[in-house]
Chains A and B, each alone.
Chain A
């Protein structure tokens, strides 16, 4: 479904990605993990069209999507929930969710999707008419995901969905993510928190210093020394966890 080949991205003189490649098959959950500054967010931002790549290839299905504007990619079925949630604080929960359906015109289906999203995150139904800025961190994260779902995305990109959230809330978020997988959405999750992501994902890529250090099926990688070394970098000795 998604194929990234040899992606190079720089911010001015700072190189963020030096030749990253990865693949996602339809219906998979793939985790991309790595330490701070590894380039994980850049990867998602580039796929979503916000950041320009220097060179490389990104394909959705058969077509190349590099260099296409984010709003156009949105109508192609790509939804990004960026790091820090980025909900519209001055708009109501209802308006935030409705904006998720910006690219759609099918009113009745949209209404049905809103209901489903509120079923998935009941707290949002409670707060439906409130200003989104008043929600807690966890609630905002759920709102961000609900909003993304309204687009009926084919590919969902999640940047650090567990950031700053209490463990209980993180569990709820990941339950929602599993539910989405069951609905057939392909998901790419970027996380710093290793356990959740790797446990949830079919396959995992470890990215360090702008490159893919190691990748494989989560079950195979989890707990191996090679995995730890890849995450923390070869220089830092035997895997500390």
Chain B
């Protein structure tokens, strides 16, 4: 019984991590950019909810999605487009800088203390599934993730720009030679990643009831780990990685001896290192492809 409860915990947490990882993985697969600022897309989504507190939840949610998408687009245009030809080191530091910048802007405006937001508190109620009591939020997380991933899969297979993005992710230059417009594909990728980030923020705010300027940081770290585990550049891998980290995280929380529980994150990252030593290219990438990274 506890096992099933834990399993649902794990899968729902994994679902949220998968969404976060997808946002990172998408940008990376097309631009080879590791977007540290993804955490701030989440954060801004959260603060949008805060700013619209009291409005109908649907309005709050849609606004968060819209704002995150627009911010993502803006970041691409202002910060990342001029850097398209830069070295990986420069790209990394730049995205770090953007992240740092956004965090401190919010800090300046809103201060450092976490602030309360009422968003879908009814999801805290539990649903009775036989002998189990599952918080609605967890079910919602799983459902939303599944719908999103299905939507994305359809988008990538059926829509013209989706196919162009897949091509660009595999071989950007060749795609351009065929006429795929670099700017459009990249902009689309950022918009999608913004939407994914905002969905993560909806979950976080619904779950914790608070927003703070550092709320995206933990999530983005996990998202990276998940992406690397799945294989940078593979979207399926990112999702898989997210679920895997969720499962490991919850399992450690449940099964570590009590005194060691505060060190849970250390164990998660230790497991991550062990994974890297075993399969550094990630789950979905073949070793030969790794050199491209």
Contacts and interface: CB of A to CB of B under 8 A. Distances in A.
Do the two chains touch directly in the complex (Cβ atoms below 8 Å apart)? Answer: yes
Interface of A: 48, 50, 69-71, 74-75, 79-80, 82, 86, 88-91, 95, 98-100, 102-103, 147, 151
B170 A102 contact: no
Given A82-B177, A86-B171, 9 more contacts: A69-B176, A70-B176, A70-B177, A71-B179, A74-B179, A88-B166, A99-B164, A103-B179, A151-B178
Nearest to B182: A71
Given A88-B167, A91-B166, A95-B163, A100 B174 contact: no
A78 to B, nearest CB: 9
B156 to A, nearest CB: 10
Contacts of B173: 50, 70, 86
A146 to B, nearest CB: 12
6 contacts: A74-B178, A79-B178, A88-B167, A99-B175, A102-B180, A103-B178
Interface residues of B, number: 16
Contacts of B166: 88, 90-91, 95
Given A71-B179, A102-B180, A151-B179, A91 B167 contact: yes
Given A70-B173, A88-B174, A75 B179 contact: yes
B279 interface: no
A88 B165 CA distance: 11
A70 B173 CA distance: 8
Q: Which of B179, B180, B181 has the most CB atoms of chain A within a 10 A radius of its CB?
A: B179
Contacts of B171: 86, 88
A82 B176 contact: no
A177 B146 CA distance: 48
Contacts of B177: 48, 50, 70-71, 74, 79-80, 82
B179 A147 contact: no
Interface in B150-207: 163-164, 166-167, 170-171, 173-182
Ranked 10 nearest A-B pairs via Cβ? A74-B179, A103-B179, A102-B179, A86-B174, A70-B176, A71-B176, A88-B167, A70-B177, A88-B170, A102-B178
B37 to A, nearest CB: 26
A152 to B, nearest CB: 12
Nearest to B289: A89
Interface in B131-151: none
Q: Which of B167, B174, B177, B182 has the most CB atoms of chain A within a 10 A radius of its CB?
A: B177
A98 B182 CA distance: 18
B78 to A, nearest CB: 20
B206 to A, nearest CB: 36
Nearest to A75: B179
